[in-house]
Structure 1
């Protein structure tokens, strides 16, 4: 299953956006209002839970300064990645898109597609508002 958000322009430099996103504690600021729990486990891993959903542990899998950050599930039970692609448009203008890639059976994919899409849209919207 692959989901991609529309690209969002952010009025910050590519380096500023990348530096914000590699600090995983900053993801707490990007979470939806329905966040029930957020815990920074270490500099490469954090745990979060939305109301009514199981806890998810994400860890940094890759980073390519200042272009891309890949987070992935820490558990092999539900393997997936969440990727932020960061593209410089101008000195203080950056375009960011999030993508989700996961291996799920058809039933699971149908159940989680909308919540994951909404979650990614919220992360991106909050990124634009937080980095003003």
Structure 2
């Protein structure tokens, strides 16, 4: 299991951060430029990663003000779980951690680890930009 993660402090109450992340329609704002053909609902998102693959994700688990878990809703190139974990750091500060867990063989790990880390870093930074 390959685990890739990053976190940031958001100056918003945990309920506001959870409300934003629990709606996959909002996740398009977190994506880098190499994502296109985005379509989404509250619970599912479909998109294409330029020069890589098409992905369809769905929220498999929501724990209010704590965690949102996404898994592929269709066949993916490898088993993957995307997880946002939230922790209250005070009334107006939330620690948000984005974790990607992927089943990668050695060759896939060499090819995908860098782009997946860039994706995690980009999404965490965009969340901080959007929500403060």
TM-score normalised by length of structure 2: 0.92
Superposition deviation, residue 76 in structure 1? 4.2
Which residue is equivalent to 1:131?
131
- 1:104 paired with 2:104, answer yes
After TM superposition, list the pairs within 5 Å mapping 1:8-47 onto structure 2: 8-40=8-40, 42-47=41-46
Counterpart Cα distance in 2 of 1:84 and 1:48: 19
Structure 1: state its 5+ residue gaps.
Answer: none
Structure 1 distance, partners of 2:3, 2:121, is 11
CA distance in 2, matches of 1:105, 1:5: 19
| Unaligned segments of structure 2, at least 5 residues | none
1: distance between equivalents of 2:74 and 2:109?
17
Q: 1:115 maps to what in 2?
A: 115
Name the SS of the counterpart of 1:52 in structure 2: coil
Contact 1:35-1:51 at 8 Å conserved across structures: yes
Give the distance between the partners of 1:4 and 1:51, measured in 2 at CA: 21
Encode CA deviations 1:13-62: one digit per residue, 9 max, x unaligned. 1110000001110001111122222111x431101223222111111011
Task: Spell out structure 1 runs of 4+ moving beyond 4 A.
Answer: none
Distance apart, 1:63 and its partner CA: 0.8
**3-state SS of paired residue (2:109):** helix
Residue aligning to 1:84: 84
Partner of 2:61: 62
Match of 2:51 in 1: 52
